[in-house]
Homo-oligomer: A and B are copies of this chain.
Amino acid sequence: MSYVHGYDRRANVRLQDQADALVDLLHSDTHYPEGSLVLEAGCGVGAQTVTLVRNSPRARFVSIDISHESLAAAQRKMQSAANVTFEQADVFHLPFARESFDHVFVCFLLEHLARPLEALEKLKQVLKPGGSITVIEGDHGSTYFHPDSAAAHEAIRCQVELQRASGGNANIGRELYPLLRQAGFADVSVSPRMVYVDASRPRLVDGFTRRTFTAMIEGVREAALGAGMITAARFDEGIRALYRTAEDDGVFCYTFFKALGRKL
By a beta-carbon cutoff of 8 Å, the part of chain A in contact with chain B is: 139, 141-142, 144-146, 148, 171, 174-175, 177-178, 181-182, 188-192, 194, 196, 198-200, 249-251, 253, 255
What is the oligomeric copy number? 2
CA distance A191 to B195 in the complex (A): 10
Which among B178, B189, B250 is the interface contact of A251 at CB below 8 angstroms? B178
Chain B residues with Cβ below 8 Å from A251 are: 174-175, 177-178, 190
Q: B145, B194, B200: which contacts A194 (Cβ < 8 A)?
A: B194
The 3 A-B pairs with the shortest beta carbon distances in the complex, nearest first, are A178-B249, A177-B198, A192-B196
Report whether A253 and B192 are in contact in the complex, using a CB–CB cutoff of 8 Å: yes
A198, B196: Cα distance in complex, Å: 22
In the complex the two chains form, is A182's CB within 8 Å of B146's CB? no
Residues on the B chain within 8 Å of A144, using CB: 139, 141-142, 171, 174
Whether A200 and B178, one on each chain, are in contact in the complex, defined by CB atoms closer than 8 angstroms, is no
CB distance B171 to A188 under 8 Å?
Answer: no
A128 to chain B, nearest CB (A): 24
CB pair A146 B194 closer than 8 Å:
no
Residues of B within 8 A of A188 (CB): 200
